[in-house]
């Protein structure tokens, strides 16, 4: 009788929930769940905050204090900065690459013109201009820029007329792209250097001055070629006159 009254006394009989846990512990868990739900909602509304502190939510449970939520901020990559970096990278693949290749190609051919103009009879110049390495490098560089500048409309702009011939308006639209313009510049540098080398070798073979013609080939290649033929013709005429005089 004494034992049953002690068990039924409200001071020593805790309230047990239907889960077999004390009621005060269940209330603490429900409050913590609501708090966690609010944090998740705020983190979803603000992705940048979620990237910074979302991964630092840790739960700890104690019988006396219930469930406690510990926030440990973690520094991570800021998402808007990552997007801006991607935009910057895409900008590098167009304007910056075209500008860099334009400068690189121009600087690459200048040593060969310098040797042909200032030391045309040196052995170093002769051996250098007999090599095909400069043209292979320029060809690979041109192919790379052509690949970057190629679009589905390239063929249509090149052969825009009904007779499948290039038109000036279509070529103007195609060369409005910096990448296409850079590839065309590398194309001109390779062709001009090849023509200058031909002029140089022909001048050595026929003992004709080629410095002025080679210099013109750098920027005005057709004029440089014409100048070389004129110089060669004048040299042949002068040599014939001297031979007749003797």
Which DSSP state fits 209? -
Q: Chain centroid to CA 132: how far?
A: 29
234 and 243 Cβ atoms separated by less than 8 Å: no
pLDDT at 246: 67
Q: Single out the residue of 167, 106, 110, 175 nearest to residue 146, CA to CA.
A: 175
Which phi and psi (to 5°) does residue 59 adopt? -105, 135
Distance from C-alpha of 124 to C-alpha of 115, rounded to nearest angstrom: 8
pLDDT at 193: 98
Which phi and psi (to 5°) does residue 74 adopt? -125, 135
227 and 239 Cβ atoms separated by less than 8 Å: no
Q: Single out the residue of 168, 141, 173 nearest to residue 154, CA to CA.
A: 173
Three-point CA angle 97, 103, 104, nearest 5°: 85
pLDDT at 216: 97
56 and 74 Cβ atoms separated by less than 8 Å: yes
213 and 228 Cβ atoms separated by less than 8 Å: yes
Q: Which two tokens stand for residue 14?
A: 């805790």
Residues 6+ apart with CB under 8 A from 223: 216
Place of tokens 């910057």: 88
Residues 6+ apart with CB under 8 A from 219: 192
Residue 201 exposure: Cα atoms within 13 Å on the Cβ side: 11
pLDDT at 170: 86
pLDDT at 160: 77
In sign, the C-alpha dihedral spanning 232, 237, 243, 246 is: negative
Q: What is the pLDDT along the chain (246 residues), one digit of tens a residue?
A: 444 444 444 444 444 444 444 445 455 545 455 555 544 555 444 444 444 444 444 455 444 455 555 555 554 444 444 444 344 444 456 788 999 999 999 999 999 999 999 999 999 999 999 999 999 999 999 999 999 999 888 888 888 777 788 888 888 988 989 999 999 999 999 999 999 999 999 999 999 999 999 999 999 999 999 999 999 999 999 887 777 776
3-state SS class at 62: strand
pLDDT at 164: 80
pTM of structure:
0.62
- CA-atom Rg of the chain in angstroms: 41
Q: Where are the domains of the chain?
A: 15-71, 88-240
């Amino acid at each position: 009788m004494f034992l049953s009254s002690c068990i039924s006394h409200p001071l020593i009989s805790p309230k047990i929930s239907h889960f077999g846990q004390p009621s005060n512990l269940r209330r603490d868990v429900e409050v913590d769940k609501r708090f966690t739900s609010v944090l998740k909602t705020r983190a979803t509304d603000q992705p940048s905050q979620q990237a910074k502190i979302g991964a630092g939510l840790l739960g700890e449970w104690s019988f006396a204090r219930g469930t406690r939520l510990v926030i440990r901020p973690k520094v991570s990559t800021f998402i808007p900065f990552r997007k801006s970096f991607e935009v910057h990278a895409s900008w590098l693949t167009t304007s910056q690459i075209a500008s860099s290749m334009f400068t690189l190609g121009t600087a690459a051919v200048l040593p060969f013109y310098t040797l042909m103009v200032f030391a045309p009879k040196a052995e170093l110049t002769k051996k250098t201009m007999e090599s095909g390495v400069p043209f292979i490098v320029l060809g690979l560089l041109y192919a790379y820029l052509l690949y970057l500048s190629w679009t589905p409309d390239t063929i249509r702009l090149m052969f825009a007329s009904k007779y499948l011939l290039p038109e000036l308006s279509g070529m103007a639209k195609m060369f409005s792209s910096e990448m296409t313009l850079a590839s065309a510049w590398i194309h001109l540098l390779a062709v001009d250097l090849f023509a200058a080398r031909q002029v140089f070798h022909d001048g050595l073979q026929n003992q004709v001055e080629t410095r002025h013609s080679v210099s013109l080939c750098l920027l005005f290649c057709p004029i440089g070629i014409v100048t070389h033929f004129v110089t060669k013709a004048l040299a042949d005429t002068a040599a014939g006159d001297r031979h007749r005089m003797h």
